[in-house]
Chains A and B, each alone.
Chain A
Amino acid sequence: MDLYNGRLLVVDLTTGKVEINTLKEDFFEENVGGILGNIHLFEEYEEMDPLIIGTGPFTGTLFPGSCGGVISARSPLTGNLSHSPVTWFFTPEMKLAGFDHVVIGGAAEDPSFLWIRNENAVIREFPEDIIESWEITDYLRHELGDDRVQILTTGTYGFDGGLNAQIIENYWNSFERYGFGGLMAGKNLRAIAVRGLGDILLANPEKYMKGCLKVLNQTKNSPYYPEAFEKLVHSYSADPGIEEIKHRVDGCFNCPIPCRVFVKYNEPANELSSTDIEEPGMLLTDFEAFAILRKKGLNGEKAARVMEILSRKGIDPGVITSTKTNAFEGLLKEIEEISGIKEHVEGDIFLISRNNIANQIVAYTFGFCPVLSHMAEIVDYELFSQLIMDGADIEVNMVEVEGRINKITP
């Protein structure tokens, strides 16, 4: 199949069974992909208490912001089926590894990881004592012999049973807000690793690229273009305060308006070479949590150091909203002790803002980043329908899709 793989991976950690099922055209005509595909599959596999990762038609292609995937599961925090974005490079690799959706159910007896590549997957044992996210990613990349392997994991806090455990993307905080890290821990699943050496074919490459270029040019009209971290922090009425430690701006896969900044505090920020310092700093991904830390009075470096601890431990930075202290040491102590029900979880779909909500859900469906969809006016059902036609040569009933999107839009 073009544009899509037409392949679903179903993993049962309890029995160790790995199944590869076909997804036919009618699945995509009906669900498009992403969040709508995940909701459909959740109904089918609910009894496995699954964690489902979905890509959309545009994921991994030249459509701007096409790092976008979605992870869906019953939240340990709310008990509801909930959805969060997967950004950075995981879902493009998953699609290039041959899968549109991955369903992971059951629970393994021993610590394990799932290794997805070449249209196949295996469940492998994982060392009991490696439980910090950064160590997990280092270990897997070394073991699997490839630095481009993408990893979803959580950290020490998550594997110790913490409720606000977040899914970490390689080393960095994600936008996952529903305690899915704890769900991974409960499944004895230390990590999901993926590498995509395959390809995505297109029915009409020239026309597909033309449509993507049109969208790329639209993103350049965004007030956030060409880089967004500081502007987003300002939008929470906080001063970023990272001039002294700012290293370089980082974009997720094919992102035209990167919202991430790497800061260095263990070596000079203007050091451009690869030095002996293995861990010079931190990639700031969660601009909202960073803004809150700044408003608590932490300087840029201290706020970044807090973010590093949260990412290593696999703690959702959203907990910052419920911490009482604004002193660095006190905050670290509170973070250390966090265990209770979190107070900040809202709704069942992670939203970057209360504006443009439907556009964020559209992003979750078609496979681009909801943060980008918040920053740039790129949603255009007519064009998207044409792109699916140019890419996959299938016709999607956009009126129905729009109806379903509106139905789940909070």
Chain B
Amino acid sequence: MELKITPLKCTGCGACEIACSMYQDETNSTMVSSIILHREEKKNYFGIMIKTQKDVYLARPEGPEWLSQSEGASGPKPILLRPPCDGCKNREDKLCVKFCPSGSIEEGFTEEAG
């Protein structure tokens, strides 16, 4: 994955979901992104998950984890049905990196679990 994530910097703002939808479908939405924001609100437990080419990366605050795509989040549009992150290969910049206001998502490299 062409991204480096620092989960504890995340503020749960959800800008990355919209930014990624703008890349994937040129639309302002939370339904077509490779990123899904997860939040257990009363516990303040939150973080993003990213569908990569083979797996799903879970940016858990207590430490990241890889899941298989079938284990990813459910909800109105499960991660299984979303496009995987391709590092915004059709652009010069990566939109989630550009619009993440906290610096939680940066350009970089994270080895996939396989």
- Interfacial residues, chain A to chain B (CB-CB below 8 A): 60-62, 64, 89, 92, 96, 134, 138, 146-148, 170-171, 195-202, 205, 209, 212-213, 216, 219, 226, 247-258, 262, 264, 272-275, 277-281, 283
A279 in contact with B42 (CB, 8 Å): yes
Residue from B11, B31, B76, B95 whose CB has the most chain A CB atoms within 10 Å: B11
CB-nearest residue of chain B to A263: B44
- 8 Å CB contacts to A: which residues of B13-28? 13-15, 18-19, 21-22, 25-28
Q: Is B75 an interface residue (CB 8 A)?
A: yes
Closest chain A residue to B11, Cβ basis: A251
- Contact in complex: B76, A146 (CB < 8 Å): yes
Taking CB as reference atom, which chain B residue is nearest A248? B44
A254 touching B14 by the CB < 8 A rule? yes
The reply to whether A258 and B11 form a contact with Cβ atoms under 8 Å apart is: yes
* A296 CA to B11 CA, complexed, in Å: 30
**Smallest CB–CB gap between A291 and chain B, Å?**
21
Residues A274 and B98 in contact, CB atoms below 8 Å apart: no
Interface string of B31-42 (1 = CB under 8 A from A): 110000001111
The answer to whether B12 has its CB under 8 Å from any CB of chain A is: yes
The interface residues of chain A lying within 8 Å CB-to-CB of B102 are: 226, 251
> How far, in whole Å, are A171 and B61 apart by their CA atoms in the complex?
22
Measured between beta carbons, the chain A residues less than 8 angstroms from B39 are 147-148
Which of B12, B29, B102 has most A Cβ within 10 Å? Answer: B12
A253, B101: Cα distance in complex, Å = 11
B62 located at the interface, meaning its Cβ lies under 8 Å from any Cβ of chain A in the complex: yes
The answer for the CA separation of A198 and B76 in the assembled complex, in Å, is 11
Since A147-B40, A199-B21, A251-B101 are in contact, a sample of 5 more A-B pairs with Cβ atoms closer than 8 Å, ordered by chain A residue number, is A60-B18, A247-B44, A251-B11, A251-B12, A257-B101
Q: List residues of chain A with CB within 8 A of the CB of B41.
A: 147, 170-171
* Residue pair B40, A254 in contact (C-beta under 8 Å): no
Q: How far is the CA of A240 from the CA of B95 in the complex (A)?
A: 35
Give chain A residues whose Cβ lies under 8 Å from the Cβ of B45.
Answer: 273-274
Is A62 in contact with B76, judged by CB distance below 8 angstroms?
no
A residues near B28, Cβ cutoff 8 Å: 60-62, 199-202
- Which residues does chain A contribute within 8 Å of B13, judged by CB atoms? 251-255, 258
Contact of A62 among B25, B32, B46, B99 (CB under 8 A): B99
Closest 6 CB pairs between A and B?
A: A199-B29, A251-B11, A256-B101, A262-B44, A200-B28, A251-B13
Q: In whole angstroms, what is the CA distance A201 to B18 when docked?
A: 12
Q: Known: A89-B14, A96-B29, A251-B12. Is A209-B22 also a contact (CB below 8 A)?
A: yes
A-B contact pairs, 30 of them (CB 8 A): A61-B18, A61-B28, A62-B22, A62-B28, A92-B14, A138-B42, A146-B76, A147-B40, A199-B28, A199-B29, A200-B28, A201-B27, A202-B28, A205-B22, A205-B26, A216-B99, A248-B8, A248-B11, A250-B11, A251-B12, A251-B102, A254-B99, A258-B13, A262-B44, A272-B61, A273-B45, A273-B62, A277-B43, A279-B43, A280-B44
Docked Cα-Cα span, A203 to B9, in Å, equals: 33
Q: Is the pair A216, B101 in contact by a Cβ cutoff of 8 Å?
A: yes
Measured CA separation A252–B46 after assembly (Å): 13
Would you call A64 and B29 a contact (CB within 8 A)?
no
Report the bound CA distance from A337 to B45 in whole Å: 34
Minimum CB distance partner of B7 in chain A = A272
Task: Tell me the complex Cα distance, A61–B61, Å.
Answer: 26
**Cβ distance B91 to chain A, nearest Cβ, rounded Å:** 10
Residues A250 and B12 in contact in the complex (CB < 8 Å), given A60-B28, A62-B28: yes
B69 interfacial by beta-carbon distance below 8 Å: no
| A254 touching B15, Cβ below 8 Å | yes
Distance between Cα atoms of A226 and B104 in the complex (Å): 12
